[in-house]
A and B are shown apart, each in its own frame.
Chain A
Amino acid sequence: MTTQAAAKVVPVDDFVREELYPGYKQPFGSQPFVAGPVRPFSKADNSRYWLRDSLHFSEGMVPASIATLDDAQTWGAQLGAEIVGVPPTRGSVNRLAGTHVYIGIIDVDTDWQIQARADRFGDYVGPILADFDRYWAMRAGELQSAYDHFDNLDLAGMDPGQLWTTVKDAYAFHRRAWFIHFEVMYVLTANYLAFYQLAEEIGLGGSVVSALLAGEQTFYGKTDEELWRLAGRARDLDVSAPLRHADPADMRRQIEALPNGRIWWGEFEEFLRTYGWRMEETCRVDTPSWVEDPAPALYNIGTFLSKPESFDFHAARQLAVAERDAQIEAARRAVNGSDLQRFNEALAGNQAANFAWWNEEHNYLIDRRAAIPVRRASLELGARLAADGRIDRPDDLFYLFKPELFEVLEGGAARWPDLAAMIPDRRAYFEHWRQRGPELPTMLGTIPDVVPDPIMIEVFGLSGHFLETLKGGPAEVTELRGFPASKGVVEGVARVITTVTDISRVQPGEILVCGGTTTEWTPVFGIIKACVCDTGGSLTHAAIVSREYGIPCVVGTAAATQTIKTGDRIRVDGRQGTVQVLAGQEH
């Protein structure tokens, strides 16, 4: 062993100041943001529109999730927009109504800045689109190697210093993952919008574009296929009964008590090792992954077992691909000869760098996974703090804000009693707002006449109809209009679901009516007859998955969950984009 020399310190003491210049203190939190951090609403926010993002965050955010939200839809979006040089927007910013997330777009407000961004935008985007496969493989590889690191850490065996370092690493990685998210998203968005623009110019109409890019296999598509396969195995091995009827907490015990139960459970665990690294919502560090709590996966399998027949994924996919190819052929026939080359190049370029595909595919690497390392390290830390008596239970840690946690763990231990005392109130506050979630307005601030941004239209569904419906306010409506997202006409009984945790109430053959769907809703598409959403355009999750499953879907209706009641008999026309309420609740 060598003796370490005492570190040499040149003291900064003479230069320590409260102020940067006389009369100027730097405002907290102003530094890392290109445009602005997550904030509560202020009066000034009345001047622009704020869309409730129930698409990504249906239940509200605990304090710790506000840091991850900051990383994602604010910092990540803003840095991505800045680096890519997206001309008209500096990304998105979030406001909170209670604990609920609203999203706003930050315009670049001077002509010079827009022009300067446009000038560098092409330099950044062009080379990436020219070789997207290699580029995405590089980014996905970076993310995957981080997961290989974090997933295999022996957290329980770490000393406190190592564990705290891991928490910090996990946060740093989370932030990086979200920069990648928005970098790729803006690049692919450009490609998609270019195709959209071309389709408009040559008379096809931009709205056909998403259908021309459909039908690509995604990781979550494979996950659903695996869940159906496991349902089939449960039938073969005769373990269906507990999967359909047991309390999730007792399910494993009941399954393993059956003769082939351990075989099935072993296969299920094998499945989780590959497909289980997903959380229920984006940025929500307070929600478990399937690896930690497989209840959602087991519920999905149980639901599939309630249908008499297995779902033929192969046939459904072939149908979806055939439908897409037919649309491509129809488009080629409709295009003038002189435009065909541009159309073919745009299609090929978009197939090679496919936003419609990536918009679904990236979830397993970023949206539903990036916060898992933060959650796992935080829970281990919470368990130790609970054992030390600092807090009551491990997940109390999620009711501290990230700056509070960093302060208290980096020398401010004296604050523990104050912080711990606030946790019960904060839990109550979260619960209060969780319950108020369904009644919150879809849009706050100044409702615009038109939103020109096709991404806000295609992903969030801010069409003219949508905005008109919002302006009209609540009324006795018997017909809703939205985007015709997946064709077909059916009548059936509505089931209104406002948060994903209520999804187990959906019965086979019902029509799902909801704010919007995300990845964890996917399996329910295997049992429903049709889907109707408040938000969303032709590129949203519900639209894509409905097409894959071949069920009618209307999205972007603005007011379905407020107009339709569970039990109403409704008629969904996925070609016209209409939903009619035929009769009130049936009992």
Chain B
Amino acid sequence: MSGTEAAGSAVLDLADIRITDSPRVGPKVARLGHLAAAGWPVPDGYAVTADALGRWLPAAARSELAAMLAEPGPDADLHHLARRAQELIESHPLPPWLREAVVQAHQRLRARTGLGRRLRVAVRSSAISEDGTRASFAGQYATFLGVGDADAVLHHIRKCWASGFTAHALHYRRRAGDDQLHEHDLAVGVLELVNARSAGVVFTLDPVTGNRGRAVVEANWGFGESVVSGQVTPDRWVVDKTTGAIVERAIGAKHVWSALDEAADTVVLAPQAADLAARPCLDDDEVRYLCAKAAEIESREGVPQDVEWAIARGSPLPHSVFILQHRPETAWAQTDEAPAAPAAPTQGKAFDPVQYALRNVFKVPGT
């Protein structure tokens, strides 16, 4: 095959991505393209397709990797196996045709955003299967925030792909009875990093009770990573989706936040100033607006959604709001997989009788 043919389909600008591209770029990025095409405020970017990445490693390296994954052995050895797999992967640079395609896409993105060298991006793993989406959301596949130039992007694309072979991911594969090397299972999205004042998640149902009449917003100052990774007790609002009324609010003690370390081109977890820690990171209008937008996405998709969003510094509502990604709400059916499920009312307990009773006969409308 010629380099130009491969490069032509290897990298796609977000504006050209449709929902039907899901098998190539993963549902996470495909949904974002779908939203962008419909005029929604999403960060601009591009995606490296799964088949391009699948053709990255030479045949010999692929066989070696496949043989590694098929090795029998106790789970305790998975860390060792993972290190060997990742070393093998990262020892291979991306081929020139793919490097060239990424560099060009990055140049186009710098031009479109008008940010030039100041552009910072998020390099996100985007699993092809819905199962992989859950794993990716649960933090098994890597995401890198605050990445600067094209060289750094190239480096982190390889790290994303290699993150499919962490001990955690290998363990997950084993549990799923999957010891084969799937060559097309991971794409990478490269998206403009929204300069977030506040960010977080909207659940279009109450993840505690399953009540679809409500939406729940969880948020912190800065980038959304501190919320998604569960490293902070976020601010939390419960909103009646019909009336837009805020029926519950709990301001978290937000002692840390995800901030951009400009020198290191990365997002770090930093201590928060005391006055900001105790202050709500959204105002009521923002909360209601986020819920309304999330509810729109829910009705487009037909099922409850988790929506990740950010509010950019310096612009007024509604121009400040960006949708970063959304996916079907699975915490409800897959409680043990839920990454950002809020603490149940009974602290430190896995089972709260009230919560479970409300799911059953004592259920609320629409659940």
* Chain B associates with chain A: yes
Question: A residues near B, CB below 8 A?
Answer: 86-88, 111, 114-115, 118-119, 121-122, 125-126, 129-130, 190-191, 193-198, 200-201, 338-339, 341-343, 345-346, 349, 452-455
CB-contacts of B193-209 with A (<8 A): 209
Of the candidates B346, B352, B360, B364, the one whose C-beta lies within 8 Å of that of A115 is B364
Distance of A342 Cα from B357 Cα, bound (Å): 14
For residue A191, give the distance in angstroms from its CB to the closest CB of chain B. 5
For residue B364, give the distance in angstroms from its CB to the closest CB of chain A. 5
Residue pair B354, A115 in contact (C-beta under 8 Å)? no
* B62 sits at the interface (CB 8 A): no
Which residues on A sit within 8 Å (CB–CB) of B353? 125-126, 129, 190-191, 194-195, 346, 349
* 19 sample A-B contacts, Cβ–Cβ < 8 Å, listed by A number: A87-B363, A111-B213, A111-B366, A122-B345, A125-B354, A129-B354, A130-B346, A193-B356, A193-B361, A194-B351, A194-B352, A194-B360, A195-B356, A196-B360, A198-B351, A341-B350, A342-B351, A343-B351, A454-B361
* B211 sits at the interface (CB 8 A): yes
Residue pair A194, B354 in contact (C-beta under 8 Å)? yes
Which residues on B sit within 8 Å (CB–CB) of A121? 354, 357-358, 362
Residue pair A87, B213 in contact (C-beta under 8 Å)? no
Residue pair B356, A346 in contact (C-beta under 8 Å)? yes
Residue pair B358, A338 in contact (C-beta under 8 Å)? no
Most chain A CB within 10 A, of B209, B361, B364, is at B361
Q: From known contacts A118-B211, A197-B356, infer whether A345 and B351 are also in contact, taking CB-CB under 8 Å.
A: yes
Of the candidates B351, B354, B359, B360, the one whose C-beta lies within 8 Å of that of A122 is B354
Of the candidates B345, B350, B364, the one whose C-beta lies within 8 Å of that of A87 is B364
Residue pair A197, B213 in contact (C-beta under 8 Å)? no
Residue pair A88, B363 in contact (C-beta under 8 Å)? yes
Residue pair A453, B361 in contact (C-beta under 8 Å)? yes
Distance of A343 Cα from B366 Cα, bound (Å): 26
* B316 sits at the interface (CB 8 A): no
Residue pair B356, A338 in contact (C-beta under 8 Å)? no
Residue pair B364, A118 in contact (C-beta under 8 Å)? yes
* B117 sits at the interface (CB 8 A): no
B334-356 vs A: 1/0 string, CB under 8 Å? 01100000000110011111111
Distance of A346 Cα from B345 Cα, bound (Å): 15
Of the candidates A115, A194, A452, A453, the one whose C-beta lies within 8 Å of that of B357 is A194
Residue pair B357, A345 in contact (C-beta under 8 Å)? no
Which residues on B sit within 8 Å (CB–CB) of A198? 351, 356
Which residues on A sit within 8 Å (CB–CB) of B355? 122, 194
Distance of A134 Cα from B360 Cα, bound (Å): 27
Residue pair A345, B349 in contact (C-beta under 8 Å)? yes
Residue pair A190, B354 in contact (C-beta under 8 Å)? yes
* B114 sits at the interface (CB 8 A): no
Q: From known contacts A87-B364, A111-B365, infer whether A193 and B357 are also in contact, taking CB-CB under 8 Å.
A: yes
Residue pair A345, B350 in contact (C-beta under 8 Å)? yes
Residue pair B361, A191 in contact (C-beta under 8 Å)? no
Distance of A193 Cα from B353 Cα, bound (Å): 8
For residue B361, give the distance in angstroms from its CB to the closest CB of chain A. 5
Determine the residue in chain B with the shortest Cβ distance to A200.
B360
Of the candidates A88, A129, A342, the one whose C-beta lies within 8 Å of that of B362 is A88
Q: From known contacts A114-B364, A121-B362, infer whether A197 and B357 are also in contact, taking CB-CB under 8 Å.
A: yes
Question: B residues near A, CB below 8 A?
Answer: 209, 211, 213, 247, 335-336, 345-346, 349-366
Most chain B CB within 10 A, of A114, A452, A454, is at A114
Distance of A197 Cα from B357 Cα, bound (Å): 7
Residue pair A86, B336 in contact (C-beta under 8 Å)? no
Residue pair B350, A191 in contact (C-beta under 8 Å)? no
Main secondary structure of the interface of A (DSSP, over half): helix
Which residues on A sit within 8 Å (CB–CB) of B346? 126, 130
Residue pair A197, B359 in contact (C-beta under 8 Å)? yes
Distance of A353 Cα from B351 Cα, bound (Å): 14
Distance of A386 Cα from B60 Cα, bound (Å): 107
For residue A272, give the distance in angstroms from its CB to the closest CB of chain B. 39
Which residues on A sit within 8 Å (CB–CB) of B359? 197
Across chains A and B, which 9 residue pairs bring their CB atoms closest together, nearest first?
A194-B356, A345-B351, A190-B357, A194-B353, A197-B360, A111-B365, A122-B354, A194-B357, A342-B351
Which residues on A sit within 8 Å (CB–CB) of B364? 87, 111, 114-115, 118
Which residues on A sit within 8 Å (CB–CB) of B358? 87, 118, 121-122
Residue pair B213, A125 in contact (C-beta under 8 Å)? no
For residue A378, give the distance in angstroms from its CB to the closest CB of chain B. 38
Which residues on A sit within 8 Å (CB–CB) of B351? 194, 198, 341-343, 345-346, 349
Distance of A121 Cα from B359 Cα, bound (Å): 13
For residue B342, give the distance in angstroms from its CB to the closest CB of chain A. 14
Distance of A514 Cα from B345 Cα, bound (Å): 45
Most chain A CB within 10 A, of B211, B335, B352, B353, is at B353
Q: From known contacts A129-B353, A194-B353, A341-B350, infer whether A118 and B360 are also in contact, taking CB-CB under 8 Å.
A: no
For residue A292, give the distance in angstroms from its CB to the closest CB of chain B. 40
Distance of A11 Cα from B120 Cα, bound (Å): 85
Most chain A CB within 10 A, of B350, B355, B357, B363, is at B357
Determine the residue in chain B with the shortest Cβ distance to A338.
B336
Distance of A118 Cα from B354 Cα, bound (Å): 9
Distance of A333 Cα from B317 Cα, bound (Å): 53
Distance of A195 Cα from B247 Cα, bound (Å): 28
For residue A82, give the distance in angstroms from its CB to the closest CB of chain B. 14
Known: A86-B362, A125-B354, A342-B351. 11 other contacts (CB 8 A): A122-B354, A122-B358, A129-B353, A129-B354, A190-B353, A193-B357, A193-B361, A194-B355, A194-B360, A196-B360, A345-B349
Which residues on A sit within 8 Å (CB–CB) of B335? 201
Residue pair B211, A115 in contact (C-beta under 8 Å)? yes
Distance of A114 Cα from B209 Cα, bound (Å): 13
Distance of A86 Cα from B359 Cα, bound (Å): 13
Which residues on B sit within 8 Å (CB–CB) of A338? 336
Determine the residue in chain A with the shortest Cβ distance to B353.
A194
Residue pair B365, A115 in contact (C-beta under 8 Å)? yes
Determine the residue in chain B with the shortest Cβ distance to A347.
B351
Distance of A200 Cα from B335 Cα, bound (Å): 13
Distance of A196 Cα from B211 Cα, bound (Å): 19
Distance of A548 Cα from B29 Cα, bound (Å): 59
For residue B248, give the distance in angstroms from its CB to the closest CB of chain A. 9
For residue A453, give the distance in angstroms from its CB to the closest CB of chain B. 5
Which residues on B sit within 8 Å (CB–CB) of A349? 351, 353
Determine the residue in chain A with the shortest Cβ distance to B214.
A115
Distance of A452 Cα from B355 Cα, bound (Å): 18
Determine the residue in chain B with the shortest Cβ distance to A129.
B353
For residue A484, give the distance in angstroms from its CB to the closest CB of chain B. 22
Residue pair B213, A115 in contact (C-beta under 8 Å)? yes
For residue A85, give the distance in angstroms from its CB to the closest CB of chain B. 9
Distance of A341 Cα from B348 Cα, bound (Å): 11
Distance of A339 Cα from B356 Cα, bound (Å): 14
Which residues on B sit within 8 Å (CB–CB) of A114? 364-365
Which residues on A sit within 8 Å (CB–CB) of B365? 111, 114-115
Distance of A90 Cα from B361 Cα, bound (Å): 13
Distance of A136 Cα from B351 Cα, bound (Å): 22
Which residues on A sit within 8 Å (CB–CB) of B247? 119
Which residues on B sit within 8 Å (CB–CB) of A191? 353, 357
Which residues on A sit within 8 Å (CB–CB) of B363? 87-88
For residue A80, give the distance in angstroms from its CB to the closest CB of chain B. 14
Most chain B CB within 10 A, of A86, A122, A339, A453, is at A122
Residue pair B345, A126 in contact (C-beta under 8 Å)? yes
Distance of A577 Cα from B355 Cα, bound (Å): 32
Residue pair B209, A118 in contact (C-beta under 8 Å)? yes
For residue A184, give the distance in angstroms from its CB to the closest CB of chain B. 15
For residue B57, give the distance in angstroms from its CB to the closest CB of chain A. 33
Residue pair B362, A190 in contact (C-beta under 8 Å)? yes
Distance of A453 Cα from B336 Cα, bound (Å): 27
For residue B29, give the distance in angstroms from its CB to the closest CB of chain A. 29
For residue B156, give the distance in angstroms from its CB to the closest CB of chain A. 31
Q: From known contacts A126-B345, A339-B336, infer whether A452 and B350 are also in contact, taking CB-CB under 8 Å.
A: no
Distance of A324 Cα from B256 Cα, bound (Å): 49
For residue B215, give the distance in angstroms from its CB to the closest CB of chain A. 13
For residue A136, give the distance in angstroms from its CB to the closest CB of chain B. 16
Residue pair B211, A454 in contact (C-beta under 8 Å)? no
